[in-house]
C-alpha cells in the first residue's frame, strides 16, 4: 500500500505541535524548590486535635497548617502516625481535603497527600496540579523525593509547554 506523503507530513506536523506530555502516562519533573530537611521539627497548627493512645495517632482538623523548615502543607484534616518503641517519632502524615504543598515559588494541590517523614517522600493523589515558575502540570499522582528535589507526575499527565524566547 503506497504511503501518502502529504498525509504523513500533516500528521507528523500536528504531532510536533502537541506537548509531549499529552502523550505521557508519567513524566519526570524537577521539583527543585520543594526540598526539605526531614530532620527538622514539624510544627502543626489546627482548630482541633484528637489523640488516640491505642493506635499511636493524632488527628488534626480544621485549617491545618504544617511547617517543616521552609515547606508548608495545608489541609482540612491531617492524621499523624507515630512510630518507634515509645511512639514519639513522626512516621507519616496523611492529609485530606484541599491539600496544598508549598515551598518557595512552587506549589502543588491535590485531594490527598501522604508524607512519609522517614523516607523523605510526599505522594499526592487526586487531581494534582503543580505550579512552578509560571508553568503548570496536572496529573492524578505526584511523587516527590524531598532530598533530591525531584518528582514524578503519573496518570494522564497534561501540561502546556511554552517556547523559549530568543
How many CB atoms are located within 10 Å of the residue 115 CB?
Answer: 28
pLDDT at residue 90 is higher than 70: yes
User: Which of the four CATH numbers 3.40.50.1360, 2.60.450.10, 2.40.30.10, 3.80.30.20 does domain 23-159 have?
Assistant: 2.60.450.10
pLDDT at residue 51 is higher than 60: yes
- Confidence at residue 134, expressed as pLDDT on a 0 to 100 scale: 78
- Measured CA to CA, the distance from residue 97 to residue 157 in angstroms comes to 21
Is 26 or 148 the better-scoring residue by pLDDT?
148
Tell me the DSSP string of 44-109.
EE-SEEEEETTTTEEEEEEEEEEEETTEEEEEEEEEEEEETTTT-EEEEEEEEEEEEEEETTEEEE
Question: What is the sign, positive or negative, of the torsion defined by CA atoms of 66, 125, 24, 117?
Answer: positive
Mean pLDDT of 155-164: 81
Comparing CA positions, the residue from 121, 164, 156 lying closest to residue 140 is 156
Amino acid at each position: 500500500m503506497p504511503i501518502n506523503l502529504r498525509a504523513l507530513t500533516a500528521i507528523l506536523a500536528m504531532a510536533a505541535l502537541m506537548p509531549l506530555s499529552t502523550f505521557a502516562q508519567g513524566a519526570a519533573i524537577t521539583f527543585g524548590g520543594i526540598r526539605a530537611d526531614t530532620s527538622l521539627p514539624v510544627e502543626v497548627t489546627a482548630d482541633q486535635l484528637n489523640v488516640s493512645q491505642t493506635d499511636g495517632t493524632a488527628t488534626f482538623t480544621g485549617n491545618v497548617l504544617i511547617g517543616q523548615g521552609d515547606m508548608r502543607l495545608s489541609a482540612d484534616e491531617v492524621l499523624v502516625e507515630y512510630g518507634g518503641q515509645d511512639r514519639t517519632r513522626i512516621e507519616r502524615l496523611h492529609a485530606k481535603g484541599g491539600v496544598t504543598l508549598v515551598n518557595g515559588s512552587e506549589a502543588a494541590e491535590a485531594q490527598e497527600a501522604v508524607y512519609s517523614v522517614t523516607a523523605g517522600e510526599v505522594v499526592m493523589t487526586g487531581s494534582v496540579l503543580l505550579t512552578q515558575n509560571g508553568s503548570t502540570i496536572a496529573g492524578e499522582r505526584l511523587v516527590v523525593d524531598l532530598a533530591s528535589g525531584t518528582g514524578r507526575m503519573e496518570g494522564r499527565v497534561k501540561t502546556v509547554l511554552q517556547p523559549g524566547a530568543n
